[in-house]
Structures are given as C-alpha cells and as structure tokens.
Amino acid sequence: MSVNQEQRTIRCLVAKVGLDGHDRGAHVISRAFRDAGFEVIYSGLHRAPEEIVQAAVQEDVDVLGISILSGAHDTLIPEIIDGLTEYDAFEDTLVIVGGIIPDADEDELKELGVAEVFGPGASMAEMIEFVRENAPERE
C-alpha cells in the first residue's frame, strides 16, 4: 500500500515462439501462474526469438517460460539464449521450456542453460513450485 513498502512479485514471460499455433497450454499456464500470484506477460503467438528477447529484457522478468510444440526448439531456443546473453539478461533469468521435447534434446537444452523442461503430464503445482524455488534472487 505504501510508497516504501517492498512489494516483490515474481514476473514471468510466457512465450510462444516460431511457427507453432498451439497456445492452449500457454494460456492454461498463464492463468495458473496468475492464480499463483505471479505477474504474467504473455507474448502472443508466432513470435520471433528476437521479440522474445526484447520482451524478456524490457520486462525484466524473473522467469522466461517458452512453450514450443513445433519441434523447432533446437534452433529457436539457442537463439533466444544468445539474445539474452547479448543483453546481459541470461544469468539472472530462469529459463524453462514446456512442450514436446525428446529426451535427448532435453539434455542438450539443459546444457545450454535451460533450467527445466516440462513435458506432457507435468502438473501445474509442480511447475509453480519449481518457479517459486528457483526464481533468481535479485538485489
């Protein structure tokens, strides 16, 4: 309420990237995050990696959740991570990925710096818990 009282809220960008029109999952996640008390910025469909980077940098989000079901994650996610690095934003952003990601690719993504990959069947509670526990502490 007051001007000086600290009010920290976890900010998330829920991003749909590339030629992938399946946004039901992203909507459901956005809503679940909102109900968990997070501030969710939803990117909208068909975003280019550079748009995602622009949004993540400007919005200074704690968490970047990339939803991708097109199979193009091997190309698009590294581009996003490179962009974040370029703007000094990679280190203190928690990057998580949701969608259909083969196990082998999952390992690769994690090596790139993706914190966690959530596939079909992952529960909302699990994801919210993960974000709460791993959202970067910033000062």
Q: Which residues bind other proteins (CB under 8 A)?
A: 1-9, 11, 30-31, 33-44, 48, 50-51, 54-55, 57-60, 87-89, 91-92, 136-139
Residue with smaller CB distance to other proteins, 47 or 73:
47
Minimum CB separation of residue 104 from other proteins in Å reads 29
Minimum CB separation of residue 103 from other proteins in Å reads 29
DSSP one-letter string for the chain: --SSS-----EEEEEEBSS----HHHHHHHHHHHHTT-EEEE--SSB-HHHHHHHHHHHT-SEEEEEE-SS-HHHHHHHHHHHHHHTT-STT-EEEEEE---HHHHHHHHHHT--EEE-TT--HHHHHHHHHHHSPP--
CB atoms within 10 A of CB 1: 4
Minimum CB separation of residue 74 from other proteins in Å reads 22
Residue with smaller CB distance to other proteins, 35 or 129:
35
Residue with smaller CB distance to other proteins, 5 or 103:
5
Residue with smaller CB distance to other proteins, 42 or 118:
42
Minimum CB separation of residue 30 from other proteins in Å reads 5
